[in-house]
Amino acid sequence: MRRRDLIAASAVLPAAAAAGPALASSKSGGGSTAAPAFNMSGVGLPVISGGRVRNYVFVSLRLHLGGHATPESMRLKDAFLRDALVRAAHRSPFTVADDWTRLDAAALSASLLRSAAAIAGRGSVTRVEVVSQAPRRRTGVRTG
């Protein structure tokens, strides 16, 4: 994907993600209340293999909130959560052994849950869902 396509997509995706739940709730009639969620988009995480950065994968995440947390309060903590996620990805990469185009979603979710408990308070994030993974390069593992 070209750089300008990534920049254009990063400008459009947050607006579309914010408008989606609002449109769905207005169509449903408001009879049922969904659990609050906060969408994090466009976090670039490295794929490290053999001590070298092989690729970057841009992930979009949805944080399912619990307890006292609201999307507005999590928006204030967004930069801290992103920073913790990127630091964790460099410390112990979420790399899938046989594929450089995707990350281990379970390890990523567990790491962000631990960080969210320290940053936003215990019980503020109940679940982390990986919405999408977009690799910078679409090539897999190169042998040799």
Instruction: Please write the tens of the pLDDT for every residue from 108-142.
Output: 999 999 999 999 999 999 999 999 999 998 876 65
Name the band, by pLDDT with cuts 50, 70 and 90, for residue 8. Answer: low
- Res 142: pLDDT: 57
How far apart (Å, rounded) are the C-alpha atoms in residues 80 and 103? Answer: 21
Judge contact between 64 and 127, C-beta under 8 A. Answer: yes
What lies within 8 Å, CB to CB, of 125 at 6+ separation is 63, 64, 65, 66, 69, 74, 112, 113, 116, 117
For range 78-105, the mean pLDDT: 93
- Res 17: pLDDT: 55
C-alpha closest to that of 36 among 88, 72, 80, 77: 72
**The pTM of the whole model exceeds 0.75:** no
